[in-house]
Structure 1
Amino acid sequence: MSTSGVADPLAWLTSLEGVGSAYAATRDGIDVMLRDRGLRRTSPETTAESLLRGAHASAVLEGSSATLAEVRENGGDAIARDAVRLSTELLALVPTLKRAPLQALARLHAVAATGSVAADELGRPRDAGSAQRLRALADLLVAPTQAPALVVAALVHADLVTAAPFASHNGIVARAAERLVLVARGVDEKSLVVPEAGHLALRAEYESNLRGYRDGGRAGVHAWLLYGAEAFAAGAEASPLRRAAE
């Protein structure tokens, strides 16, 4: 994906049938939830709980068998510990994502994959093609656009999963990047929505739509975006503002 010569490289996404209305409805629902439930009761502990739930869900999607209770008690298995470690550093990367997105994406992988891959592979693309995909994605993240932030987040997520630019942990990195975009672009500044849990709740659709994004051309992108609006709504329902601690 290139931004050269294009005034708004993401405008075509919102022109796809049903995408604009689906994301407007989802954003309205998120805004209502955060406004009605969050402003009076939000605390750092609530944000930490959201990040923990998200890390657990992301780890399960990556193959972890740890339960949320196990993650709370002892960190769970290796995949869960990697996801939790990344979640604890995630919000500190908001300024970096805004200023130097390529650096932020590299840091996501370096944190998640520490101890799992060689030091010279941390944060580095697998090959020249992966490096090009990462640069193109970073260009999109700094390009002026009228596309909703939720759409941008969904696109970043799918592109990172399907390009698999790093030596490991691409799914965990992609889901963390999605959450980071929601914070950086003002959708969910306190990171109270749990998009990873939304994807886990819709796991079959999540995995099939990622395959469609990878292999299905424009139709696959369209289907992924429609799925994404549903998943973000499910992520809002999974917020600790709405659900008692498990």
Structure 2
Amino acid sequence: MTHDPLDWLSSLEGVPSAYAATRDGIDVMLRDRGLRRTSPETTAESLLRGAHASAVLEGSGSTLAEVRAGEGDEIATDVVRLSAEMLGLAPLLLTSPLQALARLHSVVAAGSLPTEMLGRPRDAESAQRLRTVAELLTASASTPALVRAAIVHAEIATAAPFSSHNGVVARATERLVLVTTGLDAKSLVVPEAGHLALRAQYESNLVGYRDGGQKGKHAWLMYAAEAYAAGAEASPLRRPAE
């Protein structure tokens, strides 16, 4: 079996228990609150809520009501466009992760960047960071899905490998990891909303992940467990659409 490069992060103090508790909460929600009652419309609502939250984190000023009505600003429109295609890229993320990442960026940045910049890393260092992310996505699955999602998110967000929309791509990839690992196959958790609810911690812990060595990575993982719990509470299974 191929060694999982994330094993050491999964065993840091407090991480196993924090993620076990968050995973248990998500499993209970999916099993008891809707696994037999979900529909494509429920998934669509989760994706819409996630698109709005991700857009706000990227600088959008649009409200959820405006996004729902198709009246969001340019950033929100970009992210909603991505949300419509995102789940279709789940199989590609498993087999050709670099292509999937390039496609995520190409979709969300279409109209904002010249064609030749869509889906392309900024430079050789960025290309190498993307290859590292691809290795994390295809490594053996001994690391819990939530930990893998958190690290992949932080790697993309802090590397900023593309010329725009890096945070959006990071959060989209995070959601897809939850789907492809089977933890949330119908994409009903809204991790983006969890990050928005904890925005100050989200932004500061990403800086810590980038600059703080092992301590920063540890802090990011502990933060992300809390964010995922908040993302589960933001699910349409918990809070139906108004």
TM-score, normalised by the number of residues in structure 1: 0.96
Query: What's the CA shift string for 1:192-239, capped at 9, x where partnerless?
Result: 000000000000100010010011000000000000000000000000
What's the CA shift string for 1:153-191, capped at 9, x where partnerless?
Answer: 000111111000000000011000000000000110000
Tell me, in whole angstroms, the C-alpha distance in 2 between the residues paired with 1:17 and 1:115.
45
The aligned counterpart of 2:190 is 194
Are the aligned partners of 1:199 and 1:235 in contact in 2 as well (CA < 8 Å)? Answer: yes
Distance 2:69 2:11 in 1: 46
Structure 1 SS opposite 2:111: coil
| Divergent runs of 4+, >3 A | none
Equivalent residue for 1:10, pick from 6, 9, 26: 6
Instruction: Give the alignment of 1:52-63 within 5 angstroms.
Output: 52-63=48-59
Q: Kindly provide the amino acid, as one letter, of the partner of residue 51 in structure 1.
A: L
Letter in 2 for 1:157: H
> 1:46 & 1:226 partners in 2: Cα distance?
29
Shift of 1:74: 2.2
Contact in 2 for aligned 1:10/1:145 (Cα 8 Å): no
Distance 1:225 1:119 in 2: 35
- The amino acid that maps onto 1:196 is E
* Residue type at the aligned position of 1:182: L
Q: Corresponding residue for 1:3?
A: none
Q: What is the count of residue pairs matched by the alignment?
A: 241
* Aligned pair partner of 2:230 in 227, 234, 245: 234
Kept in 2: contact 1:9–1:145 (CA 8 A): no
Q: SS state of the match for residue 69, structure 2?
A: helix
State the Cα distance separating 1:244 from its structure 2 match.
2.5
Q: Which residue is equivalent to 1:103? A: 99
- Aligned partner of 1:147 in structure 2 is 143
1:28-79 deviation per Cα after TM superposition (whole angstroms, max 9, x unaligned):
1000000001223200000000000000000000000000000111240000
Match of 2:177 in 1: 181
Q: Is the 8 A contact 2:60 2:73 kept in 1?
A: yes
- Map of 1:148-167 to 2, 5 A cutoff? 148-167=144-163
RMSD: 0.9
**Residue 85, structure 1, aligned to residue 84, structure 2:** no
Cα separation, 1, equivalents of 2:84 and 2:4:
33
Tell me if structure 1 keeps the 8 A contact 2:136–2:152.
no
1:222 aligns with 2:218: yes
Matched, 1:27 2:17: no
C-alpha distance in structure 2 between counterparts of 1:172 and 1:155, whole Å: 15
Q: Give structure 2 stretches of 5+ with no counterpart.
A: none
- Measured in 1, the distance between the counterparts of 2:92 and 2:36 equals 29
Structure 1 regions of 5+ residues with no counterpart?
1-5
> Identity across aligned pairs (percent)?
76
Structure 1 residues 7 and 67: alpha-carbon distance in aligned structure 2, compared to 1, 3 A threshold: same
Q: Which moved more, 1:115-124 or 1:140-149?
A: 140-149
For 1:149 and 1:244, the matched residues in 2 are separated by 26
Contact 1:130–1:164 (Cα < 8 Å) also in 2: yes
CA distance in 2, matches of 1:161, 1:111: 17
Change (3 A) 1:159 1:205: same
* Amino acid corresponding to residue 119 of structure 1 in structure 2: T
Return the alpha-carbon distance in structure 1 between the equivalents of residues 3 and 68 of structure 2: 46
